Amino acid sequence: MGDGTVSGADFLVGRQLTPDEKIELGQIEQSAAGPLSRRARIILNWAAGAEAAEIARRVDLTERTVKHWLNEFKKRRMEIFPSRPEPVEAPTIDELCQRFYVDMAHARHVGTLAAELFDLTQLLHGLDERYRDVIYTGGLLHNIAYAGGRAKHHTRGRDILIENPIAGMDETTRKLIAVATVFHRKKWRNERFEKEAVYQSLSEEERYAAGWLAALIRVADGLDYSQSQTTAIGPCRVTGGNVIITVAGPYVDFDSARADDKADMWRSISGTSIFIRPASGMLSLENDGLAAGQESFVLSDTPGVLTDDVMSEVGRKILHFHFERMLKNERGTREGVDIEALHDMRVATRRMRVALRMFGDYFERDIYKRLQGGLKSAGKALGNPRDLDVFMEKTQQYLATLPVERAAELDIVQEHWKTQRDTAQEDLIAYLVSDVYRLFVDEMAEFVSIPGLGSADLELARFKPVHARHVAPGLIYAAYQGVRAYETEVPCASLETLHQLRLTAKQLRYTIEFFKEILGDEANDVTGTVVELQDHLGALNDAVVAQELLRKYMRQEAKRVRKEQQWSVNSVETPRIGGVVTYLEYREQEILNLMDTFPPVWEKVISQEIHQKLALSISIL
């Protein structure tokens, strides 16, 4: 626009500040009166990549006012400040971190871990002690641009460090840290060395140091991927060219897996292997002789819901509780050895999806939608192999009831399902190591760890209930009413109706469980009765799904045989469905039995006794 107005795409470009402007703006922000300080913050946030709406929230001004000062700055630059202080000396590291809103808890932890890794692996990299302080500082500054948004914060961080002189730091050290910052993120490829101008400007010796510093900071950053500052480095052994690092802490499974992923740069530049393993029975390599530790993934016993919690914090606590369980089972799910890890991880994501729907109105809409999309993708990826696990497990139970001479009658069809299961597992692993999944986990970890982040309940209309003790009774009764609504349908309900009832019963169960800590003891009896209903209908649903899979196999097999006969006139092959028909009849009879035994299970759920216990459990709120 000819008048210099900042709008649309123009707002997204031209955000560069000169080093002198950055220093002056930082001084004004720290020392000027309120209006001028906020004006400086507007420009600094804008230069860091923040949008006008977000800046307005940070400085407690309207978006219109923010855009006004951005327009003025574009036209007049520093002249928008009527009385500016003289240029100040270069900021210290602490001042630079304050200026760019660095998360110091994460920064210090990454710096400390990086320095420890530097010491533990010194025999390999051979860097002298002066680099120890450099790597700690690199850990402090690796996320310097993160407050301006996750996208490209590694490249923006490099630019900040190159453009801003730092008190007491020479230019070469600043370049080393800038290289570590730009290399700490994204999958590693050696071509990045050639494309990075700051790295190419270093001497050969400095490039060697920069590569090792970046590789170590990548691993250290991965070890605090949970943003919990709880993962600690234990014993380390360098043996036969391999480096084995043990780590411990409540989020160790999650953090060690991410650090192992981010060790790709280490492996590339060193030509040696590095293994980051939890201090548990999973560490040992063949003949390495390293004793297993005793530390394991520690889970919270309860979400910690309180009666006075606002609903957004209730939702956050519940999501955090089940997120822990999802992370705990990620490694086992990827390895695919124990099917219970997959089951538990899927259960955790299901509960998170229900919780997110239940508490969604109390979160900001954009956050809700991103997390909802992530959970939906996770549920789909976990669901396919898990459904086949259930089906194959039930098939084995059926085969165990047959005489020995019939034990092999489903071998062919089982091989067919095993192939499908292997494919589903491959798809699941591809998802769990994808950037899409990591971004979802990153966002969820941040969301559940920061009270107040994305909360919308405190902005709701006055006198609207937002505390757990006020909202929980209505939610629980609404969920129970949803189950009771099936009373007129149950006597002659179709399988589809009973499937919907199962989902509605699950909603009731989860709602009671979410608030269990603040309800009376009678809630346990209600939940137990609902679980009986859910299990009965779950077995019915499993039988129906198995029936559909068996019929699908029979159709596919018949189609295969017809195709064979089409190409071979002399073909007399018949469909390989031997025991499948018998098994199908078995599952159909199971459906009839479950339908026949359903009424007494249902009567307990809608009984006066359960109604009274539900009321008593809520009455203490």
Residue type present at position 470: H
Q: Which residue has the higher pLDDT, 143 or 558?
A: 143
Which of 459, 490, 520 lies at the terminal end of a domain, its last residue?
A: 459
Q: Report the pLDDT value the prediction gives residue 260, as an integer from 0 to 100.
A: 85
Beta-carbon contacts of 609 under 8 Å, excluding residues fewer than 6 positions away, are none
- Residues in a beta bridge with 98: none
* pLDDT tier for residue 42 given thresholds of 50, 70 and 90: confident
Q: Report the pLDDT value the prediction gives residue 174, as an integer from 0 to 100.
A: 92
In a domain, 291, yes or no: no
**In this structure, are 454 and 505 located in the same domain?**
no
Q: Report the pLDDT value the prediction gives residue 511, as an integer from 0 to 100.
A: 95
In a domain, 559, yes or no: yes
| Joined tokens for residue 89 | 């000396």
| Joined tokens for residue 297 | 């993934």
SS3 per residue for 395-427: HHHHHCCCCHHHCCCCHHHHHHHHHHHHHHHHH
Q: Report the pLDDT value the prediction gives residue 286, as an integer from 0 to 100.
A: 32
In a domain, 290, yes or no: no
- CA dist 364 and 375 (Å) reads 17
pLDDT at position 588 over 80? yes
Whether the CB-CB separation of 428 and 381 falls below 8 Å is answered with: yes
In a domain, 45, yes or no: yes
For the chain, the average pLDDT equals 82
430 φ, ψ to 5°? -60, -40
- Strand 242-248, strand 232-239: pairing: antiparallel
Per-residue pLDDT, averaged over 490-515, amounts to: 91
**In this structure, are 437 and 490 located in the same domain?**
no
In a domain, 305, yes or no: no
- Strand 273-278, strand 242-248: pairing: parallel
- CA dist 273 and 267 (Å) reads 6
For every residue of 137-168, DSSP letters joined together read HHHHHTTTTGGG-STTHHHHHHHHHHHS--TT
In a domain, 609, yes or no: yes
Most confident of 36-45, 89-98, 368-377: 368-377
The residue whose two tokens read 């969920």 is: 479
The span from the first CA to the last CA of the chain, in angstroms, equals 59
Per-residue pLDDT, averaged over 543-554, amounts to: 82
Q: Report the pLDDT value the prediction gives residue 462, as an integer from 0 to 100.
A: 59
Residue type present at position 560: R
pLDDT at position 618 over 90? yes
| Joined tokens for residue 318 | 């519940």
**In this structure, are 412 and 320 located in the same domain?**
yes
pLDDT at position 297 over 70? no
**In this structure, are 215 and 319 located in the same domain?**
no
Q: Report the pLDDT value the prediction gives residue 503, as an integer from 0 to 100.
A: 92
Element (H, E) at 193: helix 191-195
Please state, as a whole number, how many other Cβ atoms lie within 10 Å of the Cβ of residue 558. 13
Percent share of the chain, pLDDT over 90: 30
Residue type present at position 601: V
Q: Report the pLDDT value the prediction gives residue 579, as an integer from 0 to 100.
A: 78
Q: Taking phi first (over 0 means left), then psi (-120 to 50 degrees means alpha), and beta for anything else, what does residue 330 get?
A: alpha
| Joined tokens for residue 240 | 């036969």
Q: Report the pLDDT value the prediction gives residue 10, as an integer from 0 to 100.
A: 42
Q: Which residue has the higher pLDDT, 221 or 583?
A: 221
Per-residue pLDDT, averaged over 150-177, amounts to: 88
The answer to which of 111-115, 466-470, 543-547, 595-599 has the lowest mean pLDDT is 543-547
Domain count across the chain: 4
Whether the CB-CB separation of 553 and 576 falls below 8 Å is answered with: no
Q: Which residue has the higher pLDDT, 585 or 201?
A: 201
| Joined tokens for residue 443 | 């966002």
**In this structure, are 395 and 473 located in the same domain?**
no
Supply the CATH number for residue 343's domain.
1.40.20.10
Q: Report the pLDDT value the prediction gives residue 285, as an integer from 0 to 100.
A: 30
Sheet arrangement for strand 242-248: 232-239, 242-248, 273-278
* pLDDT tier for residue 500 given thresholds of 50, 70 and 90: very high
Q: Taking phi first (over 0 means left), then psi (-120 to 50 degrees means alpha), and beta for anything else, what does residue 453 get?
A: beta
pLDDT tens readout for residues 243-289: 778 788 888 888 888 888 888 898 888 877 777 877 643 333 333 33
User: Could you tell me the sign of the dihedral formed by the alpha carbons of 183, 189, 194, 195, in that order?
Assistant: negative
Which of 88, 122, 144 lies at the terminal end of a domain, its last residue?
A: 88
For every residue of 522-553, DSSP letters joined together read HHHHHHHHHHHHHHHHHHHHHHHHHHHHHHHH
pLDDT tens readout for residues 194-225: 899 999 999 999 999 999 999 999 999 999 98
pLDDT tens readout for residues 174-197: 999 999 999 998 888 888 888 999
Per-residue pLDDT, averaged over 506-517, amounts to: 94
Q: Taking phi first (over 0 means left), then psi (-120 to 50 degrees means alpha), and beta for anything else, what does residue 467 get?
A: beta
| Joined tokens for residue 462 | 């006055």
| Joined tokens for residue 489 | 């349908």
pLDDT at position 232 over 50? yes
The answer to which of 149-158, 161-170, 401-410, 526-535 has the lowest mean pLDDT is 401-410
**In this structure, are 111 and 207 located in the same domain?**
yes
Q: What 3-state DSSP class applies to 241?
A: coil
372 φ, ψ to 5°? -60, -45
Q: What 3-state DSSP class applies to 466?
A: coil
pLDDT tens readout for residues 361-418: 899 888 899 999 999 999 898 888 888 887 788 878 777 887 877 777 777 777 877 8
Which of 65, 88, 111 lies at the terminal end of a domain, its last residue?
A: 88
Domain that holds residue 418: 311-459
- CA dist 459 and 347 (Å) reads 32
Q: How far is CA 97 from CA 45, 93, 105, 166, in A?
A: 13, 6, 12, 11
**In this structure, are 485 and 613 located in the same domain?**
yes
- CA dist 359 and 43 (Å) reads 36
**In this structure, are 510 and 615 located in the same domain?**
yes
**In this structure, are 166 and 213 located in the same domain?**
yes
* pLDDT tier for residue 239 given thresholds of 50, 70 and 90: low
Per-residue pLDDT, averaged over 474-484, amounts to: 94
**In this structure, are 449 and 370 located in the same domain?**
yes
In a domain, 106, yes or no: yes
- CA dist 365 and 354 (Å) reads 16
The answer to which of 177-181, 281-285, 470-474, 607-611 has the lowest mean pLDDT is 281-285
In a domain, 306, yes or no: no
**In this structure, are 340 and 441 located in the same domain?**
yes
Whether the CB-CB separation of 557 and 576 falls below 8 Å is answered with: yes
248 φ, ψ to 5°? -145, 155
Scanning 310-410, the segments in alpha helix (DSSP H) are 311-328, 330-335, 339-359, 365-399
Supply the CATH number for residue 269's domain.
1.10.3210.10
Q: Report the pLDDT value the prediction gives residue 574, as an integer from 0 to 100.
A: 52
**In this structure, are 495 and 569 located in the same domain?**
yes
pLDDT tens readout for residues 423-468: 888 888 888 878 788 788 878 877 887 778 788 876 655 567 889 9
* pLDDT tier for residue 486 given thresholds of 50, 70 and 90: very high
